[in-house]
Structure 1
Amino acid sequence: MLIARLIADPAALESGLEAMMAVLSDSDTPIAHAAMLDFCGDVLQIESPGDDLDALRRAIRAAFDPSDCLIARDAIRVPDLFVSDMDSTMIGQECIDELADFAGLKAKVAEITERAMQGELDFESALRERVGLLEGLDESAIHRCLDERIRPNVGARVLVETLKSKGCRTVLVTGGFHHFADVVAEQIGFERVVGNRLKVQEGKLTGKLVGAITDSATKKRVLEEEVARLGERAISMAAGDGANDIPMLEASDYGVAYFAKPKAREAANGWVERGDLTVLLKLLEVPEADWVG
């Protein structure tokens, strides 16, 4: 059984659903039932007795684009674990790009960031190259950057605090830096932070990192470790936007691509492309009266 929950343009909902049902009618993934959820008038639930999640995902994307959606192989419920990327997911910026602007290098660093997010560059080498360009930058630039430029995305705190109120464990895992992530996690409400550490000596960045790199493998490992602690029946949800998030998205029960790059979009069984982060609460069937934050 496949279940999809969808928020799309109301004007295109009926025609899109008819087109999708026609496409899937003779497939192994026919649509058995489709109806708006009672608790929220803009969430359409679609049910199929089939098992081809990729086929259902392709059909939904073809009929409704852009949309907000979550597809699962069983009843959708509030997860026991939420693991999220930070840059361009929980916050609207790429921290290293904004920090580089204080060194007059934003364009150069942002070009490397974009290629890494698209999956065109090896993450670790791209990270070390960008960090190396920041050598000699005063540590105070980090604090200025946080104060002046870094802002949570709309709905981030409400999403995290509401999930916590429902018993969900929340973890922020980032290929970015603890200097930023620790502050962001406190603002939004995450319970654990995993990220990289910039090396600082005598108040200046050295262009080096401290310790092991937090990369795509680390993100996946953190998710798997947290699920193992919670027990085999734990349901996980992950959110991200770039190629570095793909293993984590694929390993989670609900992998959500947030305004994501194409490769991350294709790896996810959920996506947000119209609304803010609170649409995930709607897709999880959490009434707005229960939202926190």
Structure 2
Amino acid sequence: MNCSAISVARTATNGVSFNGAFHTAPVTTLTSASKGVGGVGTNNLILSCNNTSNKTINMTGNQLNQATSRTSTTKATPTAETVTVPVLVPVPVNQYLPKQPELAAKIIQQSNIVCFDVDSTVITEEGIDELADFCGKGAEVARVTKEAMGGAMTFQDALMIRLNIIRPTQKQISDFIKIRPSILTRNVKRFIEQLKADGKQVYLISGGFDCLIEPVARELDIPITNLFANKLMFYHNGDYASFDTTQPTSKSGGKAEAISLIKKQNPDALITMIGDGATDLEAVPPANYFIGFGGNVVRAEVYKRAEYYITNFEQITSNS
């Protein structure tokens, strides 16, 4: 079954708008002069994040309720006092200013091939986390993801463990694509259209799954032959069997290996990689350049190490 033929990506139209990315702050201090975190009024609350800028963000009570409703498990006392609550804090993009976007735009103009990460770059979400949540395994997979990010296991081991937890059937994959189609990142479609109009080749390189990404590729008019991603394998009855461990993106260093394969076919091409994560950053070399992207989520280490960094694809889209 080609599950990718069922749906196409859609552009985000809802959700709380903070015009920014999510940044994990271990502790957030909330100070209220009236109703506290649990109040439904519009009194202003001061939210101070433990982030690199140490700036203060002003949000209304309703905004704060929406921002913390999914992640906070601690209720504040509804009095004029300060409480500490662990939350996932939306940090405005201007807290992480673009780094040399003009030079990044020139690099794009000079590039023959532009490669994109998919999760949190071309689309707003992380595919495996969304699939795990859809299959009722979100909490278990989140724990493994956290351990993997801490370096406790290899990428391939982490992928194997997470898939063995989820064990998605072909029907679940099909239903997932229908019910939760991927959401395209703001301005990415226009940017890719401009790249193609300028005669550049566009590739998608992802540690996610091809059957989930193929609808995105079709929506962006990117040939499936220009997609590097992991392949799920199923038994004849549709149950999950395994994943293809021979795919470059199934293991650590896989994105660099994928770009090496592209470079063999295009030995004289100047190749630029765009992505949000460390695996994207580490694809240089063989890629000639890396442009970090923080329009959906900011990885502090990537922001620190990237020479070029953008928060909106509009910042490197040609006006011509």
Fold match (TM-score > 0.5): yes
What is the 5 A alignment of 1:132-147?
132-135=164-167, 137-147=168-178
Find the counterpart in structure 2 of residue 240 from structure 1. 275
Find the counterpart in structure 2 of residue 83 from structure 1. 115
Find the counterpart in structure 2 of residue 158 from structure 1. 190
Number of aligned positions between the proteins:
217
1:261 aligns with 2:296: no
> Could you tell me how far apart the structure 1 residues matched to 2:105 and 2:313 are?
23
Contact persistence 2:291–2:306 (CA under 8 A)? yes
> Could you tell me how far apart the structure 2 residues matched to 1:83 and 1:248 are?
10
Q: Give the deviation of 1:183 after TM superposition.
A: 1.6
Aligned partner of residue 222 in structure 1, secondary structure: helix
Find the counterpart in structure 2 of residue 229 from structure 1. 265
Contact persistence 1:219–1:245 (CA under 8 A)? yes
Aligned partner of residue 243 in structure 2, secondary structure: strand
What is the 5 A alignment of 1:1-293?
65-70=95-100, 76-78=107-109, 79-117=111-149, 121-135=153-167, 137-149=168-180, 150-191=182-223, 192-213=226-247, 214=249, 215-232=251-268, 234-249=269-284, 251-259=286-294, 260-273=298-311, 276-281=312-317, 286-287=318-319, 290=320
Cα 1:168–1:74, aligned 2, differ >3 Å: closer, same or farther?
Answer: closer
TM-score, normalised relative to structure 2: 0.60
What's the CA shift string for 1:58-107, capped at 9, x where partnerless? xxxxxx85222347699645111111111111111111111112321112
TM-score, normalised relative to structure 1: 0.65
Q: Give the deviation of 1:126 after TM superposition.
A: 0.6
Cα 1:242–1:74, aligned 2, differ >3 Å: closer, same or farther?
Answer: closer
State, as a whole percentage, how many aligned pairs show the same letter.
Answer: 24
Q: Give the deviation of 1:201 after TM superposition.
A: 1.6
> Could you tell me how far apart the structure 2 residues matched to 1:119 and 1:271 are?
25
Aligned partner of residue 68 in structure 1, secondary structure: coil
User: Which is richer in helix?
Assistant: 1
Contact persistence 2:105–2:316 (CA under 8 A)? no
193-202 or 115-124: bigger deviation: 115-124
Aligned partner of residue 242 in structure 2, secondary structure: strand
> Could you tell me how far apart the structure 2 residues matched to 1:212 and 1:133 are?
21
Q: Give the deviation of 1:258 after TM superposition.
A: 1.5
What's the CA shift string for 1:157-182, capped at 9, x where partnerless? 21212111111111101111111122
What's the CA shift string for 1:219-268, capped at 9, x where partnerless? 11222332343343x32211122232232155433312222422333342
Contact persistence 1:256–1:270 (CA under 8 A)? yes
Amino acid of the structure 1 residue aligned with 2:191 = L
What's the CA shift string for 1:104-131, capped at 9, x where partnerless? 1112213333554565642111101001
Unpaired runs of 5+ in structure 2?
A: 1-93
Across the aligned residues of Structure 1 and Structure 2, the Cα RMSD in angstroms comes to 2.7
> Could you tell me how far apart the structure 2 residues matched to 1:91 and 1:73 are?
21
Amino acid of the structure 1 residue aligned with 2:96 = P
